[in-house]
Amino acid sequence: MKPKKIEIIEKNLVIKWEDENISNISLIYLRNECPCAGCKGETVLLKAYKPPKIEKATPNMFKIKNIKIVGGYAIQILWLDGHNTGIYSWEYLKDLEKGQSKNSPQNYNELL
């Protein structure tokens, strides 16, 4: 399922999907759940890399400067603080909406 419209309304990313459903994801949750290796870590050749915890959040961390469509399957967000390595697939955005409603972070432990 692809989005028909993506926009920022107040402090939320609002996505209207082809089936007319609407996802509403807070920018804070979206940034905190950035799927890039620098934010969530990765495993390479059986060695796990876990990034350091962010010690101090800045206001620009949670503001979007630009959004680009990537290959027809995802978006890449350029945050106002310069961070831009997270690729949010359509499926991942749907998962974030569900996780946000449960107030739970995404589980990356299986990957690391």
Mean pLDDT lowest among 7-16, 65-74, 96-105: 96-105
Tell whether 29 is covered by a domain. yes
pLDDT of 93 strictly over 60: yes
Count structural domains, the chain: 1
Tell whether 108 is covered by a domain. no
Tell whether 57 is covered by a domain. yes
Cβ-based neighbour number of residue 13 at 10 Å: 23
CATH of the domain at 80: 3.30.2020.30
Tell whether 13 is covered by a domain. yes
pLDDT of 15 strictly over 80: yes
For range 21-36, the mean pLDDT: 95
For residue 89, the enclosing domain spans: 3-101
pLDDT of residue 104: 63
18 vs 49, more confident: 18
For range 49-68, the mean pLDDT: 86
DSSP string, the chain: --EEEEEEETTEEEEEETTS-EEEEEHHHHHHT--SHHHH-EEETTEEE-PPPPSS--GGGG-EEEEEEETTTEEEEEETTS----EEEHHHHHHHHHHHHTT-----TTT-
